[in-house]
Chain A
Amino acid sequence: MALSVEEANRFAALLENDRDDLIASWAERVIGTLRGRLSHAELRRQISELSRGFQAALAGGARSLSDEPAAELRAQLSELSGGRARQGFSATEIAVSVFALKESMLALLNRQDGAAATLRDYVAFSSFVDEAALFTFDSYVRVREELIADQAEQLLELSTPVVKLWEGVVAVPLVGTLDSARAQVVMERLLQTLVDTSSPYAIIDITGVPAVDTQVAQHILKTVVAARLMGADCIISGIRPQIAQTIVALGIEFGDIATKASLADALRYVLGHANQAKQPGR
């Protein structure tokens, strides 16, 4: 149920008159739930801003949170929840900070008299505060989703270094799940590095790949075939025991591609090959 304009005005007056009492009891209730992660002064500052926001919205005649006079309050709420989301607070902890206003308000109302009228007022005010708390929850989720999107982007950027192991030998340590987008990036970078460094050998190390299914194997095989077409040889290394079992169980065939258990084995194999190829000629 929405606030009527008179109710809103009454609450605005109440927030104005008993400001200090309200802020004190509100902060008191919230500080317990934050377990010392926010200083008392900081919390008081946030809460006094919030209470001013509530007061301004109600005095402006806002009947619900989506009304025009409450725009300022909405901005404050989303700023509060965004800031706390980045600091690692949970959604409940943020919502409780708003809900605590209800209890503080109830305490204020208890000191006054006129039971029947105040009950009606209180229920209306309470639903207004509920809206505010739900709004903080929404903006909390939005901020967290932005964070996740940012991190995913960063992950793709740092995901695939191609390192030079030896003269004529480069390695790609694959870390993390290999989906089509990443496989494409890996393939392009590896092939370009082969051209740039004119290295005839490449080692693909899959120690950091958590699972190998047919699709991942397909991506790796494509990379190896493309490298061969360009005249470079690929070795797959870092195959863990469970992965080996999965590969066999799925019936994936690596054909004549050399596979080694560890990167060290692969490097030894490559160097042996390179020497063998060089010796008869000199």
Chain B
Amino acid sequence: MCSATPTRPSSRGADVDRVPILKIGGILLVSIQIDMADQVALQLQEDLADRVVTTGCHGVIIDISALDIVDSFVGRTLATIASISRVLDAETIVVGMRPAVAITLVELGLSLPGIRTALNVELGMELLAQERAVPPLLLEVEDGEVEDGSAS
């Protein structure tokens, strides 16, 4: 179930530091352990889009617990990744934001719109599991009386 395939080299600079993308079940896990330079962020965005398509995963978890600084560019990249994943039918959750980072973002007035967050990877996976467990269409059928057939 667990595999860590190295990301394929893309057209853009092969010497750029890469963030590894791990596939766990139906979830892609990205743990950012290095400084998010602009080039690294763009590379991650590109790699992640590729991997979502090739693996057909329905969830992406981005762990930023090792990041001391989240600037506006990184924030915007995260939002872009979330939007791209949503187009590809995958939910993105950013987990492990440090208190100091959150306080700084609030003081700067950045609220990362469109990004869902969880406290840690575990809670993030729970959240994704809930999402996938209740497809909206099925929910309506459950509410109506299916058993006794008096609905129609």
**Residues of B participating in the A interface, judged by any CB pair closer than 8 Å:** 93-95, 97-99, 102-103, 105-107, 111-112, 116-120, 122-124, 126, 129-130, 133-134, 139
A198 pairs with B122, CB closer than 8 A: yes
CB within 8 A of A225: which of B106, B126, B139? B106
State which of A191, A192, A199, A230 has its C-beta within 8 Å of the C-beta of B117: A230
Complex Cα gap A191–B119 (Å): 10
Q: Can you give 28 A-B contacts (C-beta < 8 A)? A: A187-B103, A188-B99, A191-B99, A191-B103, A194-B119, A195-B119, A200-B118, A222-B107, A225-B111, A226-B103, A227-B102, A228-B111, A229-B97, A230-B97, A230-B117, A230-B119, A231-B93, A231-B94, A231-B95, A231-B116, A231-B118, A231-B119, A232-B119, A277-B130, A278-B130, A280-B139, A281-B129, A281-B130
Contacts of A187 in B (CB 8 A): 103
Q: Which residues of B contact A230 (CB under 8 A)?
A: 97, 99, 102, 117, 119
CA–CA, A191 and B129, complex, Å: 25
Let me know if A198 and B106 touch, CB within 8 A.
no
B105 touches A228 (CB 8 A): no
Q: A200 contacts B99, CB within 8 Å?
A: no
For B122, the chain A residues whose CB sits under 8 A away are 198
Interface band, chain A: 20 to 34
- Contacts known (A232-B119, A280-B130); A226 close to B106, Cβ less than 8 A: yes
Among B98, B106, B119, B120, the residue within 8 A (CB) of A222 is: B106
Complex Cα gap A230–B119 (Å): 6
- Pairwise interchain contact B130-A200, C-beta atoms closer than 8 A: no
Known: A187-B103, A281-B126; 17 extra A-B contacts, CB below 8 A, are A194-B99, A194-B119, A195-B98, A195-B99, A195-B120, A225-B111, A226-B103, A228-B117, A229-B117, A230-B99, A231-B97, A231-B116, A231-B118, A232-B119, A280-B130, A280-B133, A281-B129
> Judging by beta carbons under 8 Å apart, are A226 and B99 in contact?
yes
Q: List the 6 closest A-B pairs by CB distance, nearest first.
A: A191-B99, A231-B117, A231-B118, A226-B102, A229-B102, A280-B134
Contact check, B119 vs A229: say whether CB atoms are below 8 A apart. no
* B93, B111, B139, most chain A CB atoms within 10 A: B111
Residues of A within 8 A of B102 (CB): 191, 226-227, 229-230
Interface of chain A residues 178 through 200 with chain B (CB within 8 A): 187-188, 191-192, 194-195, 198-200
